[in-house]
């Protein structure tokens, strides 16, 4: 073995060892530079400028009675899962950790609210459309499928 090759392999192994990540550290959640605890301690008026435009305008205009009732029940309710048809409500930091069953038009889909959902609608997490996977073309769909081989 040539002397240069042995040292080259040793250098390669050392680079591999140095490049390996030991234990991955879980990153702390932040939303626009604020931690979850800071967001939960804010009032709604302090939180509104941080939300996306559609959510901000929705809360500035005010909520209807049904939406207000849902939010009050979600804040105070000790029940594990709260059922709702209100798909248009935007997730606030106060909702984090709660479970909500959102109606899809056919059934209720259980959604556990996590910090990454802040500023999104509840309906985004309970899809109403199902992806239909199709197989190949049927008999007669193409010219080549007209001729069936004889056995």
Residue-by-residue DSSP string for 29-94 = PEETTEEHHHHHHS-HHHHGGGS-HHHHHHHHH---HHHHHHHHHHHH---SEEEE--TTPBP-GG
Confidence of residue 140 (pLDDT cuts 50, 70, 90): low
Confidence of residue 19 (pLDDT cuts 50, 70, 90): confident
Helix, coil or strand: residue 101 = strand
Mean pLDDT of the chain: 86
Interval 121-130 mean pLDDT = 92
Question: How many Å apart are CA 89 and CA 123, to the nearest integer?
Answer: 8
pLDDT at residue 148 tops 70: no
Q: For 55-111, what is each residue's pLDDT tens digit?
A: 999 999 999 999 999 999 998 867 789 999 999 999 999 999 999 999 999 999 999
Helix, coil or strand: residue 110 = strand
Delineate the domains of the chain, giving CATH numbers in brackets: 29-125 (3.30.860.10)
Helix, coil or strand: residue 116 = helix
pLDDT recorded at residue 99: 94
């Amino acid at each position: 073995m040539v002397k240069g090759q042995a040292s080259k392999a040793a250098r390669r192994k050392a680079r591999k060892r140095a490049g390996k990540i030991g234990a991955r550290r879980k990153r702390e959640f932040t939303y626009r530079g604020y931690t979850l605890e800071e967001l939960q301690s804010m009032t709604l008026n302090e939180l509104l400028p941080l939300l996306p435009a559609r959510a901000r305008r929705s809360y500035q205009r005010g909520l209807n009675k049904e939406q207000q009732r849902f939010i009050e029940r979600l804040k105070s309710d000790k029940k594990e899962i709260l059922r709702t048809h209100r798909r248009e409500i935007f997730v606030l930091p106060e909702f984090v950790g709660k479970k909500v069953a959102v109606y899809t038009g056919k059934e209720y889909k259980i959604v556990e609210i996590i910090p990454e959902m802040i500023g999104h609608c509840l309906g985004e997490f309970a899809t109403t459309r199902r992806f239909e996977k199709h197989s190949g073309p049927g008999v007669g769909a193409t010219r080549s499928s007209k001729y069936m081989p004889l056995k």
